Amino acid sequence: MRYYAHRGNSAHAPENTIAAFESAQRAGFEWLETDIDVTSDGQIRVLHDSHLDRTTNGSGLITEMAAAEVDRLDAGSWFGPEFAGQRIPTLEEFLDFIEQSGLSVNIEIKPTPGGANAARILMKAAVAAFERFPGRILISSFNHVILSELRHLSAGIPVAPLYPEGALPEGWLAVAQLMGATAIHLGDGTPESGRALTKKDIAEVRELGFDASVYTITTPERALELESWGATGVFTNGEFGSNAH
Ligand code: G3P
Ligand code: MG
């Protein structure tokens, strides 16, 4: 089973910074997960939230801030003083890290508030990344229209529709087949919330021919259970290292 370092080794370093990706490599991860969005002047940056407030010393929407201003922000101090000076990586910096490290990556295209223009910028970049690192890139998104469009732009690009916590919605199969998905990325709940994925959920996805990866897994026991049900991947922040074995 594949273990994705979710936003880098984000239990141990500030998410989606080069420090977090380097930490993931040191921990032994072979696959990273990261998120991309667009600045007001059309530049791509690696950031999970639409807003800058939680993970930087800035505030507001990234889509409303120019790249030069975004690049001055500190994206490490919120996590710990030893990470002061970490920046929000550009996509180029991130892809250079992929090149140097030899790692592979699931790039998640955020459901950007920047509209179609921003979405097109992200799609073009995803195709370029795929062409630069064939076999080492998987593109996912909660925005399934973007993934379908991507497959029209580049027939071979592997894509995975994301679904929020809990069971798959009715009609997921048509969506996945129409876009030619490689994998389905599923959110896990907890038994307490009543929305934990079941053996049947994973079996359904696998029997219909798709890989099935599950986010975000915090214990080795759950990772091993999902593996025993046929899951092909899990996303983890690195609490139990780079695999459960
Ligand atoms: O790809 C798994 C996971 O990253 C999806 O949710 O919100 O953490 O980007 P999120
Ligand atoms: Mg993500």
For every one of its 245 residues, what pLDDT tens digit does the chain have, with 9 covering 90 and above?
999 999 999 999 999 999 999 999 999 999 999 999 999 999 999 999 999 999 999 999 999 999 999 999 999 999 999 999 999 999 999 999 999 999 999 999 999 899 999 999 999 999 999 999 999 999 999 999 999 999 999 999 999 999 999 878 999 999 999 999 999 999 998 877 878 999 999 999 999 999 999 999 999 999 999 999 999 999 999 999 999 99
Secondary-structure class of domain 2-236 per CATH: alpha beta
Query: Cβ(4) to ligand 1 under 6 A?
Result: no
What residue spans define the domains of the chain? Answer: 2-236
Ligand 1 atom nearest the C-alpha of 235 is: 2
pTM attached to this predicted model: 0.98
Q: Give residue 199 CA to ligand 2 midpoint distance, Å.
A: 23
Rounded Cα distance, 123 and 147, in Å:
8
Q: Max CA-CA distance within the chain?
A: 48
Query: Cβ(33) to ligand 1 under 6 A?
Result: yes
Helices 115-132 & 144-153 angle (0-180, nearest 10)? 50
